[in-house]
Amino acid sequence: MDHTDAPAPVGEAAASNSRAVRKERTRRALLDAALGLLAEQSLSGLGLREVTRAAGIAPTAFYRHFRDIPDLGAALVDEALGSLHQVVRALLAAGASAEDRIADAVALIATHVRAYPAHVRFIARERHGGVRAVREATDRELRGFSYEVATGLAAQPESRGWTVRDVQMLAELYVDLLLLTATSLLETEPGSEAERAVLTGARRKLRVVALGRRHWQDEGA
């Protein structure tokens, strides 16, 4: 009788699940410890033993999850920016007016910053920092982000007749503005006058972009 496809014994399956849970818990502890330490320093100055000590694990356990500190930093980039893709795609696909999309996009960024300030601060600091793997991971994630935004913009009536290059340029402009807004919000308190000023400024800038979009003509530049 062939037992190749037979299910694992209950005890064995439970043990496997338990190991997977412990592994994920340790990985999470390392990421959280690194984020906490990065509130006061840059990734290039972060030591492996410093991270494992803060996480409460042995240094050797680090290598079961990450190759090195830059690899951990790249994982933080994926975590920090990856969660925005699906939400922004849904916003772009919605049949709302341009003004509603602007308001929704700014509100989304504000909500994200308040929910994940450490992640946003990490991206703001390390986007042009000294760790190559993190710079490349950030650029890769932001390119993917802008491609998704471009896909949504291309489907909108305002983009009729636009070249692929110009739609991509517009998407990158939107992404840069939203990233700048997120960085500016880090320096404000929720509900403060400073926060309201940042959000108002972001909406005004996006309106200017939307106005220019309606009148854009490619001159072959």
pLDDT tens, position by position, 4-61: 455 556 566 666 678 888 899 999 999 999 999 998 899 999 999 999 999 999 999 9
Residue 36 has what pLDDT?
Answer: 94
- Note the pLDDT tens digit of each residue in 129-184: 889 999 999 999 889 888 888 988 898 888 888 999 999 999 999 889 988 999 99
Token pair belonging to 200: 């108002």
Token pair belonging to 181: 């807004």
Residue 199 has what pLDDT?
Answer: 97
What number of residues does the chain have? Answer: 221
Residue 10 has what pLDDT?
Answer: 55
Contacts of 53 (CB under 8 A, 6+ apart): none
Q: What is the rounded distance in angstroms from the CA atom of residue 200 to the CA atom of residue 44?
A: 35
